[in-house]
Amino acid sequence: MNAKQSTISSEVSLMGVGLHSGAMTKLTLCPAAINHGIVFQRVDLEGSPLVPALVDYVVDTSRGTVLETNGAKVQTTEHLLSAIGALQIDNILIKLDGPEIPIMDGSAYPFVELLEKAGIEEQNALRNYFKITEAVQISNQDQSVELAALPLDDYRLTVMVDYQSKVISSQHAQLHELSLFKEHIAPCRTFVFVHELEALFNAGLIKGGDLSNAVVIAEREESEERVEKLAKMLGKDKITIGQSGIVNDEPLKFKNEPARHKLLDLIGDLVLVGQPLRAHILAARPGHAANVELARKIKKTIAEAAKAAPSYDVNAEPVFDVNYIAKLLPHRYPFQLLDRVVSLDGTTVIGIKNITMNEPQFTGHFPENPVMPGVLTVEAIAQTGGVLVLTSTDDPEAYWPYLVGIDKCRFYRNVLPGDTLVMRCTLLAPIRMGVAKMSGEAWVGDKMACSVEMTARLVKKQ
């Protein structure tokens, strides 16, 4: 899995029809900056409104995943998002001049090819992975649908489907490496049963559906009259239902193509969590509604983790050790108060300060009752935030980071010799004109020692 964020290198476009709307739409993929995220833009609407690819904006999952905000709707997002997620693209702007992502051939393969044509470019910021540490699970009332995200220091997906159908038996699909997505998952097409087709048609949907963008499955023999009616729905003069049970005996790409397509959809829907995951996703009979419910629950888990004390693996290699920190920050003994950086992405940094009795402040600050001066705790938080701000630039060693504002500072407990201070700084807004607003915290174990809001400014070295 990629360590750094990525975007595409150039702008690329394609045209296609929407499966449900039947509208011909131009799709344009554009490069985007660090921490921009995956965002749709309806350029055909007044003001060209933006629709972030986040589970917060899902409004419908009945026949695809639909996003909407401020009156701007984007339908059938899952196949494109699956390609973006599998290729580990973090930042991209998706322009549309219509309401729906083109269905193409019903798979993710055309989008993979389009993204590869654009080229994938690494960016100077770490990916903000969320590592599942405890199982996150959802199921429906009768447990016919069950999904879980389990702890794993990687990203894998396992899917099982069972439609109680003579044509589609119980099937499994797995993806253990994202690098295998293009060959083994991306070509797998969406599928629909004949009885679903009629209901969708009568509901005014699948206006852009035909045999070129979906596998149509008949579970029983049909009368000539009914076959003619189906042909009309699909815009064909004639269709046949052979012994395979698939209209026109369309060959499957894989024996378990339906299960693989469900895995494809699952990847796309979980992109809506908003950050890449380290987890093993298990799904029994998934669908868009269940996928989105799991995405919501994972995002809630992430929000809860952000409020809890930051944790780190003491055995893991640090992102930056004390020697590299000295290259980034101008501070030197006795004012270099950051020993290591253990986590860093475009919006959050976690740093470590080990408090020892032989530090000079303890000789004069309450020497009979040594306590870390509060101003030095704030300074340690500020230095941690300085690393976050500096690494947002392409040349971090070319700037001085200055603390220019402190607000809402509170102290909750004393910091003593022998404590390990764990500091977390998070951007409150994107950095603009070299000015960054951050929230900062310092923790000892699971107890918060200090919280503060800070404003920092980057100044170019002369």
Q: Give catalytic residue positions.
A: 288, 365
- CA 236 from centre of chain: 40
DSSP state of 362: G
**Beta carbons within 8 Å of 404's beta carbon, 6+ residues apart:** 435, 455, 456, 457
Q: Tokens 């998706």 appear where? A: 94
DSSP state of 248: T
Distance, in Å, from the CA atom of 252 to the CA atom of 239, rounded to the nearest integer, reads: 17
Cis peptide bond upstream of 334, omega within 30 = yes
Q: Collect contacts of 39-42 with beta carbons under 8 A, ≥24 apart.
A: 39/92, 39/93, 39/94, 40/67, 40/72, 40/74, 40/77, 40/94, 40/95, 40/96, 41/93, 41/94, 41/95, 41/96, 42/72, 42/73, 42/74, 42/96, 42/97, 42/99
Listing DSSP states for 88-124 in one string gives: T---EEEEESSSB-B-TTSSSHHHHHHHHHH-EEEEE
Identity of the amino acid at 42: R
C-alpha angle with apex 423: 417 to 424, nearest 5 degrees? 170
Query: How far is CA 90 from each of CA 61, 147, 277, 296, 395, rounded to the nearest angstrom?
Result: 23, 24, 12, 19, 21
Do 208 and 17 form a contact (C-beta atoms < 8 A)? yes
Do 168 and 252 form a contact (C-beta atoms < 8 A)? no
**b/e 8-27 (16+ beta carbons within 10 angstroms → b):** beeebebebbbbbbebebeb
Q: What tokens appear for 375 in the block? A: 């101003």
* Backbone CA torsion sign across 266, 271, 273, 278: positive
Q: CB neighbours (10 Å) of residue 87? A: 21
Do 52 and 37 form a contact (C-beta atoms < 8 A)? yes
Looking at 172-287, list the stretches that DSSP marks H as alpha helix, in order from N- to C-terminal side. 181-184, 194-202, 224-233, 257-270
**Beta carbons within 8 Å of 263's beta carbon, 6+ residues apart:** 157, 159, 173, 174, 175, 185, 188, 283
Do 88 and 177 form a contact (C-beta atoms < 8 A)? no
